[in-house]
Chains A and B, each alone.
Chain A
């Protein structure tokens, strides 16, 4: 069964950086688009960024453009999110999600909490 396990969250100061990781198992990682989706406390879901199977294309939401970078290492079955210039508005649980059929997300990790605060 497919599994996604995020790590790297924690408390970071405003203006700081954080790198999230997602370890994938139970499926052929290199054949799927992958995404990061976040959820601020008590709020709904927000797609953050995604990356093509071979890493040749990536896209992100306007609010993180120029600050966040998504990447992947197919040899290590891992997905990453490098987050720079963090603000309080970036405080959220960050989920790693697998791209499913017809633009859906068919498998999710348990999430990792990122808190931006001084």
Chain B
């Protein structure tokens, strides 16, 4: 089973700043199947990125994904007030899915 570890647990930044969120896999993964989600309080998750770096429909280009092997990154180039939320990475392998524990992005 692949375990995804996200860091930091909480990231405190101001609007306009750049956010870098990390997701590390316990073993090399097929990078084709790495996704990122945003979740706001009381809401369902929303798909941001699939296939490591492809933006989902309607996702602004300030969101970007990168990485390979065991290390993956979600970058938000310039934070907007609506970007403060919890972010999860997720991987699919052999008919099973795993999520990271999440990174909370909060306003500084």
The finding on whether chains A and B are genuine partners in a shared complex, rather than unrelated, reads: yes
- Chain A positions within 8 Å of B, measured between CB atoms, are 35, 37, 44-47, 50, 59, 61, 95, 100-111
Contacts A102-B35, A104-B47, A104-B50: A44 and B97 contacting too (C-beta < 8 A)?
A: no
Contacts A47-B99, A59-B96: A104 and B45 contacting too (C-beta < 8 A)?
A: no
Q: Does B88 contact A (CB under 8 A)?
A: yes
CB contacts under 8 Å to A, within B39-95, are 39, 43-47, 50-51, 54, 56-57, 88, 90-93, 95
Question: By DSSP majority rule, is chain A's interface helix, strand, loop, or mixed?
Answer: strand
Measured between beta carbons, the chain A residues less than 8 angstroms from B47 are: 100, 104-107
Contacts A102-B35, A103-B97: A45 and B91 contacting too (C-beta < 8 A)?
A: no
Q: Does B26 contact A (CB under 8 A)?
A: no
- Chain B positions within 8 Å of A, measured between CB atoms, are 32-33, 35, 37, 39, 43-47, 50-51, 54, 56-57, 88, 90-93, 95-102
What is the number of contacts between chain A and chain B, taking CB atoms within 8 Å? 74
> CA–CA, A95 to B43, complex, Å?
11
User: Are A106 and B99 neighbours in the complex by a CB distance under 8 Å?
Assistant: no
Measured between beta carbons, the chain A residues less than 8 angstroms from B96 are: 47, 59, 61
User: Are B35 and A46 neighbours in the complex by a CB distance under 8 Å?
Assistant: no
Complex partner residue of A44 from B88, B92, B93, B95, CB under 8 angstroms: B88
Measured between beta carbons, the chain B residues less than 8 angstroms from A50 are: 95, 97
